[in-house]
Amino acid sequence: MPETPKVGLIGLGGITLYGHAPALKELGVKIQACADVDEARVKLFKERFGCNGYTDYKEMLAKESPNVVLVATPHGLHAQIASDAIEAGAHVLLEKPMATSFEEALKLAETAHRRERMLVINHEYRFERRRQVAKKLVKEGALGKVYFGRGFYTRQRGIPTTPTFIKRELAKGGAVLDIGSHVVDLLLYLTDFPKPVSVVGRTYSMFQEERAMFSSYPLPPPPTVRSEVEDMGVTLVNLEDGLSFYVESSWAAFIRDPKFEVTLLGNKGGLQVNSELHYVTLVAGEMVVGQPLVPHQQENAFNKVWSTYLDAVSKGVSYPPAPLCSADQAALNVSILEGLYKSASEGKEVRLDIPQSLLQRARSSR
């Protein structure tokens, strides 16, 4: 691969405009081309970043031949567009969730392996320093045997206003796929990707008619667009060796404070990571709460994702280095999310069938 990557962006919404594109600019990486079905977005990007613009991503892939592609489209389009980019010869950084079904995720992962392209899913919260310290504590055995994990990503007023997030045809799911996927990823990452066995879950759609009241986004929701997806999901995940996770995600709720945190409990200690990191253990027979000294971070997570990813691509490494999220790790995440939806629909516990080969690859970069 050339030392200077030819980067193409597919999907020019907020996450690209305010996250990925500025990160590439700060890193000194030129954006070669961009694509979106919205002509206004394409025009904006062409003017702001000096790139070639397209309203058909396939035309962009054919004419520009980018060797690195970002896919940040509506969730329901992730797997197909990422697959097309890989088949065109590009390495792909794909926004979460990787796919909207486990079958899609497995197929996409196999496509990347077959084509020897580096597919990484953007779970940027792994790069945050407090979570890196938490990972180190777990790996070094500070918690002993971890038996329970708990994660929350809950908002008071966070229902998206654009059709790409709330129309089922485009999004496939709501809060679970959008923000619940981040919580599941962190729990899997911190515990070294245990095998999921079964899922019990519920979803709720309580604020579809009041979404304007329960949204803090600057653009008001179109009056003719009704939310067709859930605004809350909860699940209990049973994993191997007696481990279990509880995950709660919501775009809107009557809660005092929004929350984004994960907690892990072990037989020698516990930890909680939110805006701070706390470690709890016994010292001299007394329960002590400690707060590891975590250096202040200057660089944002998107910069770290892109610099780590582009460095790995330029070196031609065979598998994404940690803490990047590999396709196999993300596929495990999707298996749990799909299990939640199935359990909610069927009203019963859902067993998961995870290929051993997927687990082995997921654990090869951790």
Q: Taking 70 as the threshold, does the pLDDT of residue 224 lie above it?
A: no
Q: Measuring CA to CA, which residue among 247, 200, 11, 216 is closest to residue 122?
A: 11
Mean pLDDT of 197-210: 91
The residue extents of the domains of the chain are 7-125+300-325
Angle at 200 between CA 271 and CA 259, to 5 degrees: 40
pLDDT band at residue 317 using 50, 70 and 90 as cut-offs: confident
User: Alpha-carbon distance 231 to 209, whole Å?
Assistant: 11
Alpha-carbon distances of 115 from 8, 147, 215, rounded to whole Å: 18, 38, 42
Mean pLDDT of 36-63: 96
Amino acid at 214: F
Q: Can you give the pLDDT at residue 112?
A: 97
Give the chain's mean pLDDT.
93
Mean pLDDT of 165-192: 96
Q: Taking 90 as the threshold, does the pLDDT of residue 118 lie above it?
A: yes
Treating both helix axes as pointing N-terminal to C-terminal, what angle do 181-190 and 129-139 enclose, rounded to 10 degrees? 40
Buried b (16+ CB within 10 A) or exposed e, 197-235: bbbbbebbeebbeebeebbebeeebeeeeebebbbbbbb
Q: Can you give the pLDDT at residue 3?
A: 55
Q: Measuring CA to CA, which residue among 84, 90, 85 is closest to residue 117?
A: 90
Q: Are 260 and 163 in contact (CB under 8 A)?
A: no
Chain-centroid distance, C-alpha 165: 15
Torsion of CA 69, 120, 108, 106, to 10 degrees: -170
Q: Can you give the pLDDT at residue 2?
A: 45
Q: Which of 38-42, 104-108, 115-119, 313-317 is predicted with the least confidence, judged by mean pLDDT?
A: 313-317
Q: Which of 42-46, 150-154, 282-286, 292-296 is predicted with the least confidence, judged by mean pLDDT?
A: 292-296
Mean pLDDT of 130-155: 97
Mean pLDDT of 115-141: 96
| Percentage above 70 pLDDT, the chain | 94
- CATH number assigned to the domain covering 7-125+300-325: 3.40.50.720
Render pLDDT for 233-248 as a digit per residue (tens, 0 to 9): 999 999 999 999 999 9
Mean pLDDT of 195-202: 98
pLDDT band at residue 325 using 50, 70 and 90 as cut-offs: very high
Structure tokens at 173: 């799911």
Q: Are 42 and 34 in contact (CB under 8 A)?
A: yes
Q: What is the DSSP letter of 78?
A: H
Q: Residue 55: how many CB atoms within 10 A of its CB?
A: 13
Q: What is the DSSP string of 232-247?
A: EEEEEEEEGGG-EEEE
Q: Can you give the pLDDT at residue 35?
A: 98
Residue of higher predicted confidence among 344 and 297: 344
Residue with tokens 């805006």, as numbered in its chain: 275
Angle at 355 between CA 338 and CA 239, to 5 degrees: 60
Q: Which residues pair with 91 in a beta bridge?
A: 68
pTM: 0.95
User: Alpha-carbon distance 337 to 334, whole Å?
Assistant: 5
Q: Which of 14-23, 67-76, 206-215, 343-352 is predicted with the least confidence, judged by mean pLDDT?
A: 206-215
Mean pLDDT of 56-61: 98
pLDDT band at residue 366 using 50, 70 and 90 as cut-offs: low
